[in-house]
């Protein structure tokens, strides 16, 4: 269908091979952490010709990188803080991602900025947006999104009839971009694997190999089997986000970087609950609140509060949910209630610990440190600038390798599925006819897989029952579940419902109504027996029950205690005999 280089799969066989190959040689580099930063580092290193392995303790993107606002943006409020360099860098990345690196995954999104103060506010916001738009031009690229425009209240209400007339006096509309954060990470990892990186999830780093002071590799535990292995590497990169300090403790000694967690909660509501053709951005006392169009839904958030509790499963409390509802309801003519909320998710910002106590003022810039020979730490930053973070980390790695390493080239490396995407998009009617699927389905598939759509269509050709939508989550075809297990590294039910799709936050049943069907579909490719299917569904059900109950609690401590009541994920295989 398209002329493209075969893209690596991240199926179960490839995972086993990756773990074996990592243990069988001395790598140039091993990366700890499979969020966006670790994934970016693996791709940057592989495309510079280095041998690289990446180890992720849970599922890819299961930390912060699946729980963000899903915006690729410069950050209007950093402009207000006069941090022009940060904004320029992020907007140039936005242009690159939209137009070259991932046009199939990153899309423009409009926001309305309602004005509430007559007089000074329009010129103030307008001047900021003139600068925001002009900083977005990148060398050799246009901005990739339309420019801002001023609107009267009447025109703004035509775009967003849901706004309460008395809540604002006029508006300015501007554009940013959005991405499916979890799928993007997985796509970066597939791209890295295509260039030779060895990639494994459910592989937790539990210790370091040392020669005197020097770090010479890691000890890794395969969480599916309980087996431990050594992975030798000339350099190790710690890209573990809010777990940075834990890894630092494993090395021993005082670290140079400290990362603090700040919790951000988002709500998901159905699209028909807010009548608007545009996203909306609102000022809050501390920061901003986004109302973001998201397929057939809106994502509304976020909060910003300090978090010292469980980092693997940050819990949203009743107060978090009420905070978001209260703020969005200030501008809506028909207020939202808790009954409108389909899904809730909480994420932890990895903030570089600074002097200030206010988490929303802590630095969003990243740092690279070299605490001991053989180890590079990268932390801070934001999703939008992952490629720059990765480049800086691999530059530090190159410094520690006694060989010449070429400069980063990821600004010229389209992600898997990007090549040929535009031509396929233009041919979507023809693809619909050839496959027998509705053109809306083809569009949905193209925006998830880009030119890898042919792999999904091949599954359907072989088994036409996979062309049916999931009963109870009909945005997705049954084929997408099978593909997630065979090609996209999904190893557990949770991985498909929470990250390869977002059914767990996009349906009122939160995935429970499709859990059995999805587990049955995964059983074949992952060689599960009936017992494992049952365990997966039980685990998922308990997780959702615990999450729902935690969201009824008033405080973080109560919510955290309840969320921790759900059991941890069940391994697939029995431990290897010792
Ligand atoms: C609420 C919220 C909204 C945000 N919105 C935006 C936005 O709209 N745009 C934007 O640009 N940025 C946004 N951000 C910031 C952005 O999401 C983060 O900066 C980014 O996702 C961090 O990625 P990471 O790879 O550093 O961390 P993570 O994604 O957390 O990855 C770290 C990984 O390390 C793994 N790990 C930990 N310990 C080990 C171990 N011992 N062995 C192996 N693996 C291990 C973890 O399991 C985890 O997967 C937002 C953040 C939050 C919280």
Please report the atom of ligand 1 found closest to the CA of residue 303: 1
Write out the DSSP string of 185-225.
HHHHHHHHHHTT-EEESSEEEEEEEEETTEEEEEEEEETTT
Ligand 1 centre and the CA of 3: distance in Å?
A: 34
Q: Look at residue 355 in the predicted model and tell me its pLDDT.
A: 41
Measured at the alpha carbon of residue 194, what is the angle toward residues 191 and 196, in degrees to the nearest 5? 115
Query: Per the structure block, which two tokens stand in for 539?
Result: 């685990």
For ligand 1, the distance from its centroid to the CA atom of residue 201, given in whole angstroms, is 15
CB-based contact 218:30 (threshold 8 Å):
yes
- Outline where 8-117 has alpha helix (H): 12-24, 36-46, 76-80, 84-96
Contact 65, 36 (CB under 8 A): yes
Cβ-contact 499, 180 below 8 angstroms: no
Tokens of 180: 């499916």
Q: In whole angstroms, give the CA distance from residue 82 to residue 521.
A: 51
> Which residues make Cβ contacts (< 8 Å) with residue 328, sequence separation at least 6?
282, 289, 291, 300, 336
Instruction: Write phi, then psi, for 315 (nearest 5 degrees).
Output: -105, 140
Q: Which residues line ligand 1 (CB under 6 A)?
A: 32-38, 55-58, 62-65, 67-71, 73, 204-205, 239-243, 264, 302, 347-350, 381-384
**Nearest Cα residue to 179 out of 270, 110, 97:** 97
Closest CA to 573 of 52, 19, 61, 62: 19
Counting ligand 1 atoms within 8 A of each CB, the residue from 36, 67, 68 with the most, and so the one to mutate, is 68
Q: Residue with structure tokens 């309801």?
A: 329
CA of 258 to the centre of ligand 1 (A): 15
pLDDT in tens, 322-359: 999 999 999 999 999 999 999 999 999 999 985 444 55
Q: What is the pTM of this model?
A: 0.96
Judge contact between 329 and 267, C-beta under 8 A: no
Burial of 4 (0-12, 13-18, 19+ CB in 10 A): middle
Sign of the alpha-carbon dihedral angle for 311, 316, 319, 325: positive
Q: Mean pLDDT of residues grouped by 10 in the chain (578 residues)?
A: 70 98 98 98 98 98 98 90 90 96 98 94 94 82 91 98 97 98 98 98 97 96 96 98 93 80 97 98 91 98 94 95 97 97 97 61 75 94 96 96 94 97 98 97 98 97 97 96 98 98 98 98 97 96 95 94 82 48
CA 220 to ligand 1 centroid distance, Å: 20
509 CB neighbour count, 10 Å cutoff: 14
8 Å CB contact between 54 and 197: yes
How far, in Å, from the CA of 339 to the mean position of ligand 1? 30
Tell me what pLDDT residue 4 has.
Answer: 47
How far out from the chain centre does Cα 52 lie? 22
């Amino acid at each position: 269908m398209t002329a493209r280089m075969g893209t690596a799969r991240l199926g179960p066989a490839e995972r086993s091979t990756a773990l074996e190959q990592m243990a069988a040689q001395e790598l140039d580099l091993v990366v700890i952490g499979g969020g966006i930063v670790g994934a970016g580092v693996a791709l940057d290193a592989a495309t510079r010709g280095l041998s690289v392995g990446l180890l992720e303790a849970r599922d890819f993107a299961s930390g912060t990188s699946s729980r963000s606002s899903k915006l690729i943006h410069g950050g209007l409020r950093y402009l207000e803080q006069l941090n022009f360099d940060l904004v320029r860098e992020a907007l140039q990345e936005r242009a690159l991602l939209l137009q070259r690196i991932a046009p199939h995954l990153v899309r423009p999104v409009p926001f309305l900025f309602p004005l509430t103060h007559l007089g000074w506010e329009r010129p103030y916001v307008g001047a900021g947006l003139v600068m925001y738009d002009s900083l977005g031009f990148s060398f050799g690229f246009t901005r990739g999104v339309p420019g801002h425009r001023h609107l009267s209240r009447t025109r703004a209400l035509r775009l967003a009839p849901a706004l309460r007339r008395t809540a604002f006096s006029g508006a300015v509309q501007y554009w940013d971009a959005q991405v499916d954060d979890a799928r993007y990470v997985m796509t970066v990892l597939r791209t890295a694997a295509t260039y030779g990186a060895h990639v494994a999830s459910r592989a937790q780093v539990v210790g370091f190999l040392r020669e005197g002071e020097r770090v010479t590799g890691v000890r890794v535990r395969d969480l599916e089997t309980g087996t431990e292995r050594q992975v030798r590497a000339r350099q190790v990169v710690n890209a573990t986000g809010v777990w940075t300090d834990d890894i630092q403790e494993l090395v021993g000694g005082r670290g140079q970087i400290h990362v603090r967690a700040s919790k951000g909660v988002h709500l998901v509501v159905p699209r028909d609950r807010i009548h608007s053709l545009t996203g909306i951005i609102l000022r809050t006392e501390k920061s901003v609140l986004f109302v973001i169009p998201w397929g057939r839904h809106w994502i509304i958030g976020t909060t910003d509060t300090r978090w010292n509790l469980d980092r693997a499963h940050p819990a949203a409390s009743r107060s978090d949910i009420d905070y978001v509802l209260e703020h969005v309801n200030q501008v809506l003519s028909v207020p939202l209630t808790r009954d409108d909320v389909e899904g809730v998710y909480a994420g932890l910002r990895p903030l570089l610990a600074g002097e200030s106590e206010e988490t929303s003022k802590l630095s969003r810039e990243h740092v690279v440190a070299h605490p001991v020979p053989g180890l590079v730490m990268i932390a801070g930053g934001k999703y939008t600038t992952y490629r720059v973070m990765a480049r800086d980390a691999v530059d530090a790695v190159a410094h520690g390798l006694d060989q010449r390493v070429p400069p980063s080239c990821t600004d010229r490396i389209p992600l898997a599925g990007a090549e040929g995407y535009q031509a396929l998009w233009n041919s979507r009617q023809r693809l619909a006819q050839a496959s027998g699927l509705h053109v809306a389905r083809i569009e949905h598939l193209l925006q998830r897989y880009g030119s890898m759509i042919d792999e999904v269509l091949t599954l359907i050709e072989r088994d036409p029952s996979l062309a049916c939508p999931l009963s109870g989550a009909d945005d997705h075809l049954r084929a997408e579940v099978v593909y997630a297990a065979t090609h996209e590294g999904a190893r557990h039910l949770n991985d498909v419902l929470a990250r390869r799709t977002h059914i767990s936050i996009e349906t009122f049943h939160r995935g429970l109504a499709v859990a059995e069907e999805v587990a049955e579909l995964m059983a074949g490719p992952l060689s599960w027996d009936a017992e494992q299917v049952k365990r997966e569904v039980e685990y998922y059900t308990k997780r959702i029950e615990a999450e729902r109950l935690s969201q009824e609690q008033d405080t973080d401590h109560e919510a955290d205690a309840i969320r921790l009541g759900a059991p941890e994920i069940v391994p697939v295989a029995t431990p290897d005999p010792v």
